[in-house]
């Protein structure tokens, strides 16, 4: 039985052109996948930036609105207190004092409830406005993973 040693060391079956083509095809495919991944990452980063900007703008606008409502409440309470003190200066009897004090406390309590509701509504509105962009971005991201 004779062995053929010329087949073992022969590179006749090896074609460098085919290997070069395969390597080029592999490199081009990798580059295309990298470009696609980069484009997706860039789009996701841009979306995240827009979401953050919108969230910050909503938070700022909501904070301003809440601040203005708080200032309005302070001003109203100060005016009511000053008016009450002026009324106290003209009292002539204990009965007038009790009636005036009862009226003042009732007005102050009603006003405090209204102010709290107003600030609570503004806070809820701000929370909705701040969370809306994030909620929309999350829904968009999740829809990308849903089966077609």
In a domain, residue 4? The reply is no
Low-confidence ranges of the chain (pLDDT < 70): 1-17, 144-148
Show the domain range for 93: 18-145
pLDDT, tens digit, 9 for 90 and up, residues 90-122: 889 999 999 999 999 999 999 999 999 999 999
In a domain, residue 7? The reply is no
In a domain, residue 10? The reply is no
| 61-65 CB contacts, 8 Å cutoff, 24+ apart | 61/126, 61/129, 62/122, 62/123, 62/125, 62/126, 62/127, 62/129, 62/130, 63/126, 65/122, 65/125, 65/126
Name the domain count of the chain.
1
């Amino acid at each position: 039985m004779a062995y053929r040693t010329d087949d073992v060391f022969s590179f006749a079956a090896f074609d460098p052109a085919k290997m070069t083509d395969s390597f080029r095809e592999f490199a081009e495919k990798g580059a295309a996948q990298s470009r696609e991944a980069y484009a997706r990452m860039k789009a996701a980063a841009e979306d995240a930036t827009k979401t953050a900007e919108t969230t910050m703008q909503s938070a700022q606008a909501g904070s301003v609105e809440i601040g203005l409502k708080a200032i309005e409440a302070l001003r109203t309470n100060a005016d009511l207190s000053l008016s009450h003190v002026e009324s106290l200066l003209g009292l002539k009897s204990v009965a007038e004092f009790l009636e005036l004090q009862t009226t003042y406390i009732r007005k102050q309590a009603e006003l405090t409830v209204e102010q709290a509701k107003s600030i609570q509504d503004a806070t809820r509105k701000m929370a909705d406005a701040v969370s809306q962009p994030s909620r929309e971005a999350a829904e968009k991201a999740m829809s990308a993973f849903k089966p077609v």
